[in-house]
Amino acid sequence: MQKASIAQASMAFCAALPVLPAAFFVLAVMGCGSGADPALSANEGTRGTVFPATNRPEVRGISGAVSAGHPLAAAAGHDVLRRGGNAVDAAVAMAAVLAVVRPHMNGIGGDAFALYHEAATGRVYALNGSGRAGALATPELFAARELDEVPGSGPLSVSVPGAVAAWVDALDRFGTMPRQELLAPAIEFARNGFPVSTRLASDIAASSRALNDHARALYTPGGEPPPAGSLLRNPALATTLERIAQEGKGGFYHGAVAERLAAFIEAEGGYLRAEDLAVHTTTWVEPLRGSFGGFAMLVLPPNTQGIAQLQLFEMARAFDLEAMGAGSAEYLHALIEMKKLAFADRDQWAADPQFTDIPLDDLLDPAYLARRAGMVTPDAAAEARKPGVPAATAGMRTSGDDSGDTVYLTAVDRWGNAVSWIQSLFAGFGSGLLEPETGVVLHNRGALFNLEPGHPNIIAPGKRPYHTLTPMMALHADGTFAFTLGTPGGDSQPQSLLQIVNNLVHFGMTPQAAIEAPRFRSYDGLRVAFEDRFTPSVLARLAELGHEIEVVHGWTATFGGAQMIHRDPNGTLTAASDPRREAYAIAH
């Protein structure tokens, strides 16, 4: 393909914008008026897109690998593996560092989920580290305050944080190293400071609008985020982490920290009390299993959106995706329309299974999902879909903020054990509340409850909210480990993971290329965002089908920030990290 013909195609696409269907709108169109050279990223035609070589090298090893949402976290996890720790040890060390160096995305005031593959037995364990609503959290509480939905931030959005218990329980069951050693890097970074990156400064600026005074004083002193290269310290958080290192769960859910957090939330007008923290427990559950591309695909069951992930994989089996071609209009249209069907069921049914009977067998039945896939029409986009397994109420969950401020990390050790781990505050800086004496930023996962009578996800005391967090793991047919995969991104998580797995399975990409390849993100209705490396004629064809197109320039967090570790049949480990965020991979 000659550059001139590509440039001509791009110019024709730009010139056609005023006469495209009314449903087609663009925030930033590739090459239009910018002087950009689309020859670097795309070719002509609606059959597909030529994806560029990766901008990061392949990271391979034979004895261990890590990938995490920040270089300092990856370094801490890799150091644990080199010192003889296992994958769980490395995962907790990375999770703790990320709680410090990505403070707007996750922390000890948030939740966590994980999958663990035990090489010696071949078993996969699933850890639900999400917290619950407090004993005072009833619909009547919100009605008395004249609220018809759970606020997206502030004290009424705060459910019990579960991440700390997840760390401790994972280590108690499968770890081999002392907590004090594993949390030491995080404690050091919190007390002595870590260098602020350009990306973190930008993220803080974008996420700091709803912060309380304590959080503003720490993260936006003088009204501005700390400049890149400066050291960011949170000594109060360091002290809290030291308590956790010494006392385990008791250092957070009991005693001085719990009492201080509970008093702060009560004073702010929230429903959590010290007793709610004291009774919190992590839950070990059986992972949900599906199949795709010759692999067994494992995810967390509800209260997560893992059911939507498996539905997408099963529906995708109804299409010849490989023949459609990577990045083709036909391929992208099919995936976008499948997402709408899966999310309709998700929004109806993803809730705490301790409070409602979720028809998992019906939702994951291959025959049912084949019928759902048959609803995808090749010549028109659907604005909305109804759930295929309806409940007593036809209402849909209020999703709240979907900024997807989350971190993902993964580790594989010399023995073949593997961890897929995700943790989050939900929105940027969660509830916006920093408790100053503990240094804890509290999440806003409670915002994902609704107040609709009869809905599975209505708020109730002791109930876990719906969760977007979806770590994933794949096994070979013989049960041996194949790869881990996960990404931040809220509603985009199942969409991104499906695209990445397709790149790996159907289009022959390496793990790094599969992650770097351009992605879409479907929102409510007809709106879909695309990275600017898709072919202009593909986007024009999608607009003709009724999709409302936004083109987003650059490597942005809009499309998540995936990490993966893949094990080849010969034992080689390939670790991949996403340039869309601050992720980094290391192997040895």
Catalytic center residues: 406
Would you state the structure tokens that stand for residue 235, as one six-digit string? 């000594």
Task: Indicate if the alpha-carbon torsion angle 137, 141, 145, 150 is positive or negative.
Answer: positive
Q: Please choose, from the candidates 318, 307, 313, the residue with its C-alpha nearest in 3D space to the C-alpha of residue 294.
A: 313
In the three-class reduction of DSSP (H, G, I as helix; E, B as strand; rest coil), residue 361 is classed as helix
User: Which residues pair with residue 170 across a beta bridge?
Assistant: none
**Separation between Cα atoms, residue 286 and residue 308, nearest integer Å:** 17
Q: Quickly list DSSP for 506-561.
A: TS---HHHHHHS--EEE-STTEEEEETTS-HHHHHHHHHTT-EEEEE-SS-GGG--
In the block, residue with structure tokens 């594993």: 182
In the three-class reduction of DSSP (H, G, I as helix; E, B as strand; rest coil), residue 111 is classed as strand
In the three-class reduction of DSSP (H, G, I as helix; E, B as strand; rest coil), residue 576 is classed as strand
**Separation between Cα atoms, residue 419 and residue 7, nearest integer Å:** 45
Task: Indicate if the alpha-carbon torsion angle 175, 181, 182, 183 is positive or negative.
Answer: positive
**Separation between Cα atoms, residue 375 and residue 364, nearest integer Å:** 16
Task: Specify the amino acid at residue 191.
Answer: R
**Separation between Cα atoms, residue 178 and residue 201, nearest integer Å:** 33
Q: Please choose, from the candidates 77, 91, 97, the residue with its C-alpha nearest in 3D space to the C-alpha of residue 194.
A: 97
527 to 215, 397, 549: CA distances (angstroms): 34, 19, 6
With residue 267 as reference, give the H or E element that holds it. Answer: helix 255-268
SS3 content of the chain, % helix, strand, coil (to 5): 40, 20, 45
**Separation between Cα atoms, residue 313 and residue 319, nearest integer Å:** 11
103 to 39, 85, 108, 207, 354: CA distances (angstroms): 38, 26, 10, 11, 31
Angle at which helix 329-349 crosses helix 306-316, to 10 degrees, equals 140
Q: What letter does residue 30 receive in the DSSP assignment?
A: T
**Separation between Cα atoms, residue 33 and residue 216, nearest integer Å:** 38
In the three-class reduction of DSSP (H, G, I as helix; E, B as strand; rest coil), residue 95 is classed as helix
CB 462, CB 273: distance < 8 Å: no
Strands (E), 101-165: 111-118, 123-129
